[in-house]
Structure 1
Amino acid sequence: MSNQAPENLKALEATSAGRNWIDTLPNLVDACVRHWSLDNVGKPFAGSTVSHAFPAFRDGMPVVVKLQFPHEECLFEADALKVWAGAGAVRLFGHLPEYNALLLERAQPGSYLSDDPRTDHLGVVVDLLSRLWVTTNVSFKRLRQQAEDWDTLFKNEHRIAADDQERRVIRHTQGLLGELLSTPMEEVLIHQDLHGQNIVSAQREPWLVIDPKPLVGERAFGLAPIIRSFEFGNTKKSMLYRLDRLSEELGVERERARKWTVVQTLAWGFDPHFKAKHRQIIQWLTVDT
């Protein structure tokens, strides 16, 4: 591959660590091809901004190689896929931790669930979550630990907030987080980035989950990324429908799911490119809900 950064990785060029990683990609790709004896290597997939994934074949079987930019959220992706062992998620065929490289089952045709108008999107999600929410002894990061990190983030962002409205949003969310942390939590494996384009069509199962960002925590939090997934409809009505239906069908306390969605939306919503959309989601979930 060329030393020029793929278009989807351009944002990584803003940091020295990102540029250095992009410079190593040709060598990493070659190392994976040799180690796993791959052939018919194809063009990289577009989409992810922090990983470089490309199709190939291994012993005649279609696979995907995923090279991850080293960051906290990718540390335990392989472990999550091992726990799920193909039940509702793509299979892990190989892992090279020294390269942050995964050899994965290639889901084909691989279209996004949110792009299929003929399928009951939330019905698929309910089926998948009922199987993905499993207990595990693997030492994943806990939701309570993540929440403490977010509380620190909120305090810092409150201090530098540009206006009173932003400070009110942050204070309100801090209050919700305090309420959630004041009660015990169950612990199941959560995909904390399970949106409409991280569920893809396949042949082994109709739909499979990809790109896990694992966390161990309560199921109410596990609904948050789907509730706020604008790929499934970016209106207040569609978002509240997701909140109501998923809570009811999966037996999750609606209020806790709503509060966790607000918390995660704010925590993931300080990037200026998505800030306005995330503030809209928070408003929809805090006014007359």
Structure 2
Amino acid sequence: MAQPAQFSAPERLAASLRSEGTPDAAAWLAGLPEALAQRLAQWRLVPERVVEPGGRSSVVVYAHRADDLAPVALKVARPSAEAAALRVWAGRGAVLLLDEADGALLLERLHGEIPLRSLAEAKAMLESTSLLRRLWVPAPPGHPFEPLADRAARAAARIAERRALPAAGDAGPLVDEALEALALAADGSGGEWLLHGDFRHGRVLAADRAPWLAVAPRPLVGDRAYDLARLVLDRIDTLAASPGPRGAARRRLAQLAEAVELPADRVRAWTLLRAVDAALGAFAAGDPAAAELRLEFAAWL
């Protein structure tokens, strides 16, 4: 890997920050090489390589400790509650947080080249539900995590705004149904659980001390069915190409809900909301193919 002074942010991260067009995003991107150099020096790490293509709000560098050669991962991210969630889980079902400082996380090294997505779907779904059961713990007193109701309200506002997009003209009935489902999903009866927030097969990696561990949470507190809804939406391109996709989608939802003993109607409600929100976001980004696939999936439910 190049020395930190010559460090260049992965293109996916740089493009994402540039697209925001805000001074804060530009300043964070400009300060990234210095932040990386400081943490490498602070924790006496020898960099190996930058993980590509990486995420849209952080950079991960594989490194090893200078003293004992132990492999680690250094993640420099924009402000979030990720570290707080990792401290709560303390390695149970999630990557272990070794240290933190000013938005930088020192993490155990996982096998980034082996995501859960590499397994056949049936096996991956089984592993997913087992892992979610470990991650779902009661929210600790005085926690710093966002309430699910707040995140859902932002999703509803986005949907209400984007439904006016010309490309979304035929999505009106599904939009209405998704917003109606929100009333059921966000009624507060789902409990106060710590959620991963973006749980899918690509956010679970093979590890040495456990078969699979979750990474990159967007933690929040609320109904567990919200986490499961993102899992229902995983690999929808594969499902869409299978025989009888409508029946397969409904079976997937029912089987996942049963596996973690959650009401299927709540899982369906959150799935509709997340699918329609993602579809309208794809329309806004100029990706009609992705948008239509998500709307089609929502219609199958």
Q: TM-score range by the shorter chain?
A: 0.7 to 0.9
1:26-50 C-alpha deviation (Å, 9 max, x unpaired): 10111101111112x0121013122
**Range 152-161 or range 105-114, more displaced:** 152-161
Matched, 1:209 2:214: yes
Task: Tell me the CA shift for residue 150 of structure 1.
Answer: 2.0
The verdict on how the C-alpha distance between 1:48 and 1:191 changes in structure 2, with shifts beyond 3 A counting, is: same
- Tell me if structure 2 keeps the 8 A contact 1:141–1:215: yes
- 1:6 corresponds in structure 2 to 10
Does 1:156 pair with 2:156?
no
Residue pairs, 1:1-289, within 5 angstroms: 1=4, 2=6, 4-11=8-15, 12-14=17-19, 15-16=21-22, 17-39=24-46, 41-46=47-52, 47-58=54-65, 59-70=68-79, 75-97=80-102, 100-108=103-111, 110-117=113-120, 120-137=123-140, 138-160=143-165, 162-182=167-187, 184-230=189-235, 233-235=238-240, 236=245, 238-269=248-279, 270-271=281-282, 272=285, 276-287=289-300, 289=301
Q: Deviations over 1:106-136 (max 9, x none)?
A: 1136511111349811111121011111002
SS at the partner of 1:139?
Answer: coil
SS in 2 for 1:156: helix
Supply the AA of the counterpart residue of 1:215: L
CA–CA distance in 1 between the matches of 2:69 and 2:12? 28
CA distance in 2, matches of 1:48, 1:22: 13
Farther off after superposition, 151-160 or 88-97: 151-160
CA-CA distance at 1:231 after TM superposition: 7.2
Shift of 1:199: 0.7
Q: Deviations over 1:167-199 (max 9, x none)?
A: 333222111112323462212111121111111
What is the alpha-carbon distance in structure 1 between the residues aligned to residue 72 and residue 167 of structure 2? 47
Cα distance, 1:197–1:78 mapped onto 2, change above 3 Å? same
Aligned residues: 281
Closer, same or farther: CA 262–33 of 1 in aligned 2, 3 Å = same
**Matches of 2:215 and 2:40, distance apart in 1:** 21
- TM-score w.r.t. length of structure 2: 0.84
Gaps spanning 5+ residues in structure 2: where? none
Cα 1:285–1:119 change in 2 (3 A) is closer
- Equivalent position amino acid for 1:44 in 2: V
Aligned equivalents of 1:251, 1:184: Cα separation in 2: 15
C-alpha distance in structure 2 between counterparts of 1:110 and 1:5, whole Å = 20
4+ residue stretches of structure 1 with deviation over 6 A?
Answer: none
Alpha-carbon separation, structure 1, partners of 2:121 and 2:266: 31
Is the contact made by 2:115 and 2:205 (CA closer than 8 Å) also made in structure 1?
yes
Determine the C-alpha separation between the residues in 1 that align with 2:288 and 2:99: 37
**SS at 2:146's partner residue?**
coil
